[in-house]
Structure 1
Amino acid sequence: MPAPNDYFNVPFRRLAIGNQDEFRQPGAIKAAVAEFISTLVFVFAGSGSGIAYNKITGNAPTSPSGLIAAAVAHAFGLFVAVAISANISGGHVNPAVTFGLFVGGNITLFRGILYIIAQLLGSVVACILLAFTTGGLEIPAFAVTGVSVWSAFVFEIVMTFGLVYTVYATAVDPKKGEIGIIAPIAIGFIVGANILAGGAFTGASMNPAVSFGPALVSFTWTHHWIYWAGPLIGGGLAGIVYEIFFVNRTHEPISEF
């Protein structure tokens, strides 16, 4: 009869802390630089589309066409951002993805911290560049609109769960096979779809770095905690669920996805 672990994996047994020497390892530094660049590219495209929309419409309220434009810009931008860093860092481009992979034992804590610092810096630099290149136009920060704070919080949890679950299914799962080729497309598509679902209510961040850059540059922190707590909870839950029910690991070393 199969042992219990043949049916259910226990992700917390695979958690790895690593050590501070990882901050100086050439491979980790290269990966962090890749995360910085890919996040910069993604935020520049995504936030830039919002600035362009506001300029064209004179800061009009969000319209269906504006929501579609935001979804397309973020989907395309994330597809590219993941693809250009996938072979170097794994293409996280998101602290919630990094946290979800840490919970599943796919990255060490210290390397994860290095990634998150790089992602936040990439977002901030992208927003500074946008402010400079647009002549000081306002960088739109994420905001809750038309729903309660707690509804927005749940929105971010659910949307980020879908995103990180997609990352696991298409990029992390050892059984992914040839579907791994389309991982960047699938990850971009789920973000675009979630923006269509939640963009009118929370802005559909799903990514603390994407929210942090605009908030810092515009110095707008209203309900900012939602854009950290929601994605981190959603990403962590996705990592736990996928690792427990769907990943079959037998004494594998940590993969450093």
Structure 2
Amino acid sequence: MAKIALGSHREATQPDCIKALVVEFITTFLFVFVGVGSAMAADKLVGNALVGLFFVAVAHAFVVAVMISAGHISGGHLNPAVTLGLLFGGHITFFRSILYWIDQLLASSAACFLLSYLTGGLSTPVHTLASGVGYFQGIIWEIILTFSLLFTVYATIVDPKKGSIDGLGPLLTGFVVGANILAGGPFSGASMNPARSFGPALVSGDWTDHWVYWVGPLIGGGLAGFIYEQFFIVRSHVPIPYEEARF
């Protein structure tokens, strides 16, 4: 079982950490910009709810796949829940995780503020629970959807024994994000990502149900990281020193 490494504040001044934070900001910014932008475009241009849902799901699938690949320097987390799952698996230190979380929230906020300006002040869609979906149901939705996301990340990117799917991890992760949006979007909004929910809530000032999109994804991501690392990964090499641990 991997142990959580605490790390040190000295990491913040290390060139590799600074470079990783810059890349993580850029990739998270572009992910949120396209993801939220696609939702805004769907609201503006698409009259059919089913078509709009498909449009948003495809946009998220594409941008997640590309940004994970482009963010190889930082690991392309894009998501505090992904960072937490990797922390529980011993792939990133706790201190660097905090830096990543701050980075992701700042990037999401910047992307949403820019979208608001570029669209002439169009309403920024926020994640809220659908009518008839209670808090507990919404949390369960987000736990399951985020668990599937992190399980895919571990199976296709982190696990050293990826076999024939080696190199396809970012694309497959994008596919599962798109599929989850199609399945859960009409019910919980299928956030799977506290940062993706935070930016729109901050810009719009609408914090309705917002806490659900922290509790659900963080539980789901943490569980997936812990379970996969505990039961499925078989390592035949010495673990990466915790000072350098990240994927």
Query: Smaller-chain TM-score range?
Result: over 0.9
**Structural mapping, 1:73-222, within 5 Å:** 73-86=59-72, 88-146=73-131, 147-222=133-208
CA distance in 2, matches of 1:200, 1:170: 27
> Offset at 1:179?
2.0
The aligned counterpart of 1:252 is: 239
More deviation, 242-251/213-222: 242-251
CA contact (8 A) 2:129 2:189 kept: yes
CA distance in 2, matches of 1:117, 1:123: 10
More deviation, 163-172/146-155: 146-155
Superposition CA RMSD, Å: 1.3
Q: 1:37 aligns with which of 7, 23, 26?
A: 26
TM-score normalized with structure 2 length: 0.95
The aligned counterpart of 1:51 is: 40
Instruction: For structure 2, list consecutive stretches of 5 or more residues without a partner in the other structure.
Output: none
The aligned counterpart of 2:11 is: 22
Q: Which string of whole-angstrom CA distances, capped at 9 and with x for unpartnered residues, describes residues 56-93 of structure 1?
A: 24xx6x7111110010011011111111102x011111
> Offset at 1:178?
4.9
> Match for 1:91: what amino acid?
G
> Offset at 1:256?
1.8
CA distance in 2, matches of 1:179, 1:98: 22
TM-score normalized with structure 1 length: 0.91
CA distance in 2, matches of 1:29, 1:104: 22
CA distance in 2, matches of 1:38, 1:256: 16
CA distance in 2, matches of 1:238, 1:186: 17
Instruction: For structure 1, list consecutive stretches of 5 or more residues without a partner in the other structure.
Output: 1-9
Q: Which string of whole-angstrom CA distances, capped at 9 and with x for unpartnered residues, describes residues 179-213 of structure 1?
A: 23111101100000000000001110000000000
Residues 27 and 177 from structure 1, CA distance in 2 versus in 1: closer, same or farther, beyond 3 angstroms? farther
> Offset at 1:251?
4.2
State the aligned residue count. Answer: 242
CA distance in 2, matches of 1:205, 1:109: 23
Q: Percent identity?
A: 55
Moved over 4 A (4+): none
> Offset at 1:130?
0.3
More deviation, 241-250/116-125: 241-250
CA distance in 2, matches of 1:74, 1:111: 26
